[in-house]
Amino acid sequence: MNENRMRTTVGSMLVLMGILAACGQEPARDFRQVLQEVRVCASGATVDGIDVSYWQGTIDWDAVASAGIKFAIIRTGDGWFEDPQFERNWSEARRVGLYRGAYHFFRPNKDVDEQADIMVRKLGRLGPGDLPPVIDLENESLYEPYTLSQNIDKVRRFMDRVEAGTGRRVMIYAGKYFWQDAFNSTDAFLDHPLWIPQYGPTCPDIPAPWTDWLFFQTFSQGRVSGISGNVDLDIFNGDLGDLEALANGSAPGGGGGGNTQDSGTLQGVVFEDVGAGTSDMSHRLPGASVELSDGSSTVAGAGDAAWSFELAPGTYTVTASLAGYGSASRTCTVYAGQETWCSVGLTGESSSGGDTGGDTGGDTGGDTGGDTGGDTGGDTGGDTGGDTGGDDGTVDTEGKGMIYGLVVNATSVTDPNDLSDAEPVPGATILVDGRFTITAGDDGYFETWVEPGDVALLASAEGFEDSGNDCVVVEGGAVECNIFLPLETDTQQDGSDQSDVSDLYHGCSSVTPAAGSSGMLWLLLALGLLTSRRRRQQ
C-alpha cells in the first residue's frame, strides 16, 4: 500500500509499538503494512455522490447536480418491495448528467430469484453512464438462521442472476463488523468491489479480505440542495475520469487481487427459446454442447445449464447444440477483468424462432432456505394469524396486503415528517390486531402481511410505555404505519400502573399520554401517527 494512502496519528503508532513490545515482538520496521490493516485511504482524488431511495421523497435533481454531486446510487427495492421512486430517480439522474447506479437491499429469507428479477427488470442491460449494480448486505440478524455456506449460496445466486441480466459485475455494500459476523470474512466474493459504510473516519477500516474500496459511504445525515431532509453521502475512490471509465464498463476489480486484469470471463447458460428470447430463460438445457470459435468447448452444467470460459480479451462466437434442437450461435466480446454473459437459446427442430438478444436472466433455482425468523421485519411468530411462510421459504400473500414501518423513541422525534434522526427501538414486540406478534429489527423496522382492512398495531419494549397505531391495509398494497413509543413512567396521572398491556387502547385516536408528558410532545406524536412518509436508515 502506498504511503500516502495510509494515515494515522503519531500517538496511534506509539500505542501499536507498545503493544508489540509488550508481547515480546519487535515493532514492524515498515508501518505501512501494519497500518493497512487499520485504515485504507483513497488513492488520490475522490468524487462526491449520494445514495437515495423513496425516503428522500421527490428530489429536485437539477438542484442536486448544481450542488456538485457527480453520481447517485438509487434503490431498486428492499426484499420483495419495489421502491416507488426508482423510475423517476433513475431517469432524472441521467437527465441532469449524473453517473447513476442502483442498489437492492437483500433479504436472505425472501425468494432470491424474485429479488434479483426486480433489479434486472428495472435496470435491463446497463450501458454507458451506468455504474455497477449493488447488493446491499447488512443487519447480521437476518443471516443468523442460516449457515455460512447457505448465506454465500444465496448471495452468489442473486449476483449471478443480476450479472446475467445487466451485463455488469455486482458490487457489494457491507460494513466491516457485519462482514466479520455474518460472513466470517470469507473471500468468496473477493473479485467483487467493495462499497464500505463507515461514519466519522476520513479513511475507512475495511473488512478482510478486501484491501481496497471502490465507494465509501461517509455520512447518513448529509444535506444536499434539492433534497428535503437527510441523505447518505458517498465518495468514489478515483477522479472523474476513473468514474467515467467505470460507468462505461471498465472492470472495477475487487481490491484483493481476485480480479485478473489480463483475461476475462465469457459465461452464460443454454436454454430453450420458447419464443421470448432471453427474456424467458426458465427452460434450461443441461448437457448441451458449447463450442467457441477458438476451438474451446465444454458441456452445459447439470441443473442450471451454465457454462464458463476464462479467455484473453477479444471477440468470440459461441455455438450451442443439443439433440432434438437446432444449433444456435452468438458473438460476444470479452474484456480484460470483466465477465461477459453470452447465453444461447435453442429452439426445437419443429419450432421456429431464435435467440433474440441480451441476457436478462440467470440462476432460476428456488430459494432453498425457509423463512426461519431471520427477517427482522417479517412475522417471526404468532399463535393464530402469523404469516410464517411455506416449506419453500415463500410467504402466503394471496388476498393480503403489507403493513410495515418503524418503532421509534417518541422523545427523539424532532420532525414528525422526518425520522432519519429518530432513535429506533430495536427488538420491540408488536401485537398485530390482537392475533399475533412480530418483532422489530435492530433498526426498529418491521413488516408483515395481513388481511385487508383496518389493522391495529400495539408495540411494547422495555423502558417504554406501550403505544400503537391503526392503519388501513388494502389487498396487494403496502402501507407504512410507524409507531412512537414514549419513555416509561412509574404511574399514570390517576396513580394506576401502566404495565398491563390490556389496560391500554391502541390506535391514532386512543393513545393515552403518560404522566408528565408535555402537550407539544403528544402533538408531535399525533402528527406523526397521521403522516406516512418516513425515511428509514439505509
Residue appearing with cell numbers 425515511: 535
R_g of the chain computed on alpha carbons: 26
Please state, in angstroms and rounded to a whole number, the distance separating the CA atoms of residues 287 and 414: 62
Annotated active-site residue in 136, 140, 371, 375: 136
Report the 3 state secondary structure along 189-254.
CCCCCEEEECCCCCCCCCCCCCCCCCEEEEEEEECCCCCCCCEEEEEEECCHHHHHHHHCCCCCCC
Buried b (16+ CB within 10 A) or exposed e, 65-85: beeebbbbbbbbbbbbbbbeb
C-alpha cell read off for 369? 432456505
Classify the phi-psi angles of 275: left when phi > 0, otherwise alpha if psi is within -120 to 50, otherwise beta: left
Counting beta carbons within 10 angstroms of the beta carbon of residue 261, is it exposed (0 to 12), middle (13 to 18) or buried (19 or more)? Answer: exposed
Q: Are the C-beta atoms of residues 308 and 290 closer than 8 Å to each other?
A: no
* Residue 503: DSSP 8-state: G
Among residues 21, 130, 55, 11, which one has the least CA distance to residue 405? 55
Annotated active-site residue in 113, 117, 138, 232: 138
Would you give the distance in Å from CA 314 to the centre of its chain? 33
Q: Is 51 a catalytic residue?
A: yes
Q: Is 78 a catalytic residue?
A: no
Q: Is 144 a catalytic residue?
A: no
Catalytic residue set: 51, 136, 138
